[in-house]
């Protein structure tokens, strides 16, 4: 058992619900000391405590935290595109990535899990699978044999990927979605909750339904969300 003073110090970038899941995994594994949370939204949250952890400020605090002994960062928010875009700025500062795999997740011996990825409780990653950096394999999700996931992919709670699927960078697979064997999902696409994907999905589209169908582009979805 390592002394707490000898463990590396990690900052969780995020202060919402997913950050709580990440913090819980890190606490259970006891491989890091969590120094606090970063939040780029409302500045007034600085000093707030979230489930016992202090919101330290936004990304501008990373330099200070590094000088105070923080060595690792892990993303604790769900925006796939933002995780993909922000990774290089953390690496440029010389900070390392923490990876969080819950002890009650099942990960095959030969599966590859990228740096910064979060594998939640009850998730399964089967033999031959390759999961990229900064992905989320959420609660009870399954990634079957020989799947290949790019960076910053999110496989939502209870979603299931059949064998040999290929998922592009920053794709989002919603809660309870089912992706049949050997399907390819394009980078940046969003699969709606409960969808059943029976054919390949192009890049940057929104798909939902049973069977899944393209309903709009991700760009149009973003415009709808802003209106």
In a domain, 223, yes or no: no
pLDDT at 2 over 60: no
Please give the torsion angle defined by the CA atoms of residues 81, 87, 90 and 91, in that order, rounded to the nearest 10 degrees. Answer: -170
Domain limits at 183? 101-210
Domain finish residue from 73, 98, 123 = 98
When the pLDDT of each residue in the chain is averaged and rounded to a whole number, the result is 94
Domain finish residue from 51, 72, 98 = 98
- Its pTM stands at 0.94
Q: How many CB atoms lie within 10 A of CB 125?
A: 28
DSSP track, 87-146: HHHHHHTTPEEP-EE-TTSEE-TT-EE-TT-EE-TT-EE-TT-EE-TT-EE-TT-EE-TT
> Is residue 124 located within the same domain as residue 193?
yes
Residue 164 corresponds to which tokens in the numbers above? 């040999």
CA triplet 166, 174, 219: central angle to 5 degrees?
A: 85
Tens of pLDDT, residues 20-52 = 999 999 999 999 999 999 998 777 788 788 888
User: Among all residues, which ones are annotated catalytic?
Assistant: 145
Dihedral sign, Cα of residue 87, residue 43, residue 78, residue 218: negative
> Is residue 188 located within the same domain as residue 203?
yes
Confidence of residue 3 (pLDDT cuts 50, 70, 90): low
Contact indicator for 100, 29 with CB cutoff of 8 Å: yes
H helices then E strands: how many in the chain? 4, 25
Tens of pLDDT, residues 79-133 = 999 999 999 989 999 999 999 999 999 999 999 999 999 999 999 999 999 999 9
Q: How many CB atoms lie within 10 A of CB 6?
A: 7
Confidence of residue 11 (pLDDT cuts 50, 70, 90): very high
- pLDDT score, position 44: 73
Least Cα distance to 179 among 204, 152, 149 occurs for: 149
> Is residue 37 located within the same domain as residue 49?
yes
Average pLDDT (187-214) is 98
Average pLDDT (45-62) is 88
In a domain, 125, yes or no: yes
């Amino acid at each position: 058992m390592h002394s707490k003073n000898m463990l590396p110090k990690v900052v969780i970038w995020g202060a919402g619900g997913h950050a709580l899941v990440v913090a819980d995994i890190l606490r259970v594994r006891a491989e890091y000391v969590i120094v606090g949370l970063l939040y780029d939204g409302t500045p007034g949250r600085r000093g707030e405590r979230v489930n016992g952890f202090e919101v330290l400020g936004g990304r501008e605090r990373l330099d200070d935290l590094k000088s105070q002994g923080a060595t690792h960062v892990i993303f604790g928010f769900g925006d796939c595109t933002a995780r993909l875009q922000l990774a290089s700025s953390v690496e440029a500062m010389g900070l390392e990535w923490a990876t969080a795999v819950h002890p009650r997740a099942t990960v095959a011996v030969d599966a590859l899990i990228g740096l910064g990825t979060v594998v939640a409780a009850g998730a399964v990653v089967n033999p031959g699978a390759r999961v990229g950096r900064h992905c989320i394999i959420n609660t009870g999700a399954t990634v079957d044999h020989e799947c290949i996931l790019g960076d910053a992919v999110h496989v939502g709670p209870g979603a299931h990927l059949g064998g040999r699927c290929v998922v592009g960078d920053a794709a989002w697979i919603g809660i309870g979605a089912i992706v049949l064997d050997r399907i390819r999902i394009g980078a940046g696409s969003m699969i709606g909750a409960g969808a059943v994907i029976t054919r390949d999905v192009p890049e940057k589209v929104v798909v939902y339904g049973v069977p899944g169908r393209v309903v709009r582009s991700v760009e149009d979805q973003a415009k709808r969300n802003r209106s």
